[in-house]
Amino acid sequence: MTTHQSSVAGVASATSSNRGPRTLLVKHADVLVTMDGERRELKDAGLYIEGNRIVAVGPTSELPASADEVLDLRGHLVMPGLVNTHHHMYQSLTRAIPAAQNAELFGWLTNLYRIWAHITPEMIEVSTLTAMAELLLSGCTTSSDHLYLYPNGSRLDDSIAAACRIGMRFHASRGSMSVGRKDGGLPPDSLVERESDILEDTARLIETYHDEGRYAMLRVVVAPCSPFSVSRDLMRESAVLARRYGVSMHTHLAENVNDVAYSREKFGMTPAEYAEDLGWVGPDVWHAHCVQLDASGIALFARTRTGVAHCPCSNMRLASGIAPIRKMRDAGVPVGLGVDGSASNDGAQMIGEARQALLLQRVGFGPDAMTAREALEIATLGGAAVLGRDDIGALAPGMAADFIAFDLRQPLFAGALHDPVAALVFCAPSQVAYSVIDGRVVVREGRLATVDLGPLVERHNALARTLTQAAR
């Protein structure tokens, strides 16, 4: 992995002249959460990594004694990297916008569209970097992003450039909107694209970037924004295109009661029936929110292995309701976690999102509706399944070398160390001490190793100012 050596230069000490893949040894973690088939939690344990994959997991005493780089993680909890299945990273330019602070979905969108119409390619790249930095520091190692508006020459390539620069494993979703206000849709006409252009650009992106291989760092997803912003034809043709290339499909569905009412009035069906009618169910499909998915929708999703991205903070922020995650999980629906766009959260704190998932299920369905370990499982294995991956989400031989470490000696965990795994969810959200993605150290001792955060945040804030002023 020669391309990754620069990130660990100066720390590594070569122990052999062997020219095989670069090796990394993690040892003495207080607890190592495997998320393997037996859900083992190991004490005084570690990992041995060759290149970008895990070769061994176990007690420190059973692992090789040396490696090109050794991380002694005494005092830390190590676990698989968290997987974010729904986001709109460009929205990190428009957090806490006064006119959109107190509205439900449709009103919130209407207030923001007129600002987003001024977004530029640089804004996409910078906001994606900032959003990814926030995700990485909060434990996320793989993220999807749903970019569905492309004003002023913006392209999905701008997000992809950011992911490559910061070192995040990325599922880039080519979103789209095609039904503007003059055709009865919600978005302004200036923000919608021609359907033929959308399909053509989506094919270009898949052919240019999509890596279907194991340990892929970059995949492309076909993702019309929502049933209320694209036509029936585009939904159908997008599904045909995705299946021709063998890539995943993603959209928003059944987010709140107005969304359901729109579907009934416009299409004469519930959102789940509409999705089925369009070919938008199956193991290669995942839908964001599904707060108002009814019993037959849950049964349909379970039967077809259609995934759900659960976004508890956003659902609370927009008062969309409490998604029936307990029922979905019991029925066998694949469920992952999503922070959702930064204009409806307005934080992208991944471990915090797992905590909110637990708390919100309990508000809705009782104190045993979700345990801390189930919340962590949804945030790791759940997300991996929803994105169609079996090479991330667990620490086991043959899995991708993606892991995170939390320092258990912080005040926020004090008094909770009789169960550090549960503490991670019950206590206040922590930032990570380490994050390793594809075998590369991306966060070291709590600091991002790939991007200089100070100038990035300064540029981000300047662009956010330019954007909101342009909309005045």
Q: Interface residues with Zn ion (CB under 5 A)?
A: 288, 340
**Shortest Å distance, C-beta 309 to Zn ion:** 8
Place of tokens 């915090």: 352
Shortest Å, Cβ 252 to Zn ion? 5
- In angstroms, rounded to a whole number, what is the distance separating the alpha carbons of residues 297 and 465? 42
CA 93/CA 110 separation, integer angstroms: 16
Taking the least distance from each CB to Zn ion, the nearer of 34 and 173 is 173
Instruction: Decide whether 288 or 449 has the Cβ nearer to Zn ion.
Output: 288
Pairing status of strand 335-337 against strand 307-310: parallel
CB atoms within 10 A of CB 50: 18
- Residue 266 Cβ, how far from Zn ion at the closest point, in Å? 20
Do you know the residue count of the chain? Answer: 472
Q: Decide: 322 and 315 in contact? Cβ < 8 Å.
A: yes
Q: Cα dist. 51→3, 7, 392 in Å?
A: 11, 13, 15
Shortest spacing between CB 223 and Zn ion, in angstroms: 10
Q: Which is nearer to Zn ion, 69 or 340 (CB)?
A: 340
Give least dist CB 469 to Zn ion, A. Answer: 25
Question: Taking the complex as a whole, how short is the minimal distance between the CB of residue 340 and Zn ion, in angstroms?
Answer: 5
* Complex with Zn ion: residue 237 or 255, whichever CB lies closer: 255
- In the bound complex, what is the minimum distance in angstroms from residue 311's beta carbon to Zn ion? 7
Choose between 254 and 288: whose C-beta lies nearer to Zn ion: 288
CA distances from 142 to 149, 263, 372, 437 (A): 22, 32, 21, 8
* Secondary structure of residue 185 in the 3-state scheme: coil
Given the complex with Zn ion, which of 86 and 460 has the nearer CB atom? 86
Angstrom distance (rounded) from CA 462 to CA 324: 40
- The answer to whether residues 432 and 139 touch, using CB atoms and an 8 Å cutoff, is yes
Q: How far apart are CA 168 and CA 407, in angstroms?
A: 21
C-alpha dist (Å) from residue 190 to 115, 175, 240, 356: 12, 16, 27, 36
The Cα–Cα gap between 52 and 30 comes to 24
Instruction: Select 25 or 253, whichever has its Cβ closest to Zn ion.
Output: 253
Taking the complex as a whole, the smallest distance from the CB of residue 28 to Zn ion amounts, in Å, to 40
State the minimum distance, in angstroms, from the CB of residue 244 to Zn ion. 26
Q: Which is nearer to Zn ion, 340 or 346 (CB)?
A: 340
Residue closer to Zn ion (CB basis): 49 or 275: 275
CB of 121 to Zn ion, least distance (A): 21
- Which tokens go with 279? 């070919």
Cβ atoms of 144 and 221 within 8 Å: the answer is yes
Q: Judge contact between 165 and 456, C-beta under 8 A.
A: no
In angstroms, the Cα distances linking 280 to 238, 241, 251, 304 are 9, 12, 9, 10
In angstroms, the Cα distances linking 132 to 86, 87, 90, 161, 393 are 13, 10, 11, 12, 18
Question: Which CB atom, from 77 or from 105, has the smaller least distance to Zn ion?
Answer: 105
Element holding 172 (H helix, E strand): strand 169-176
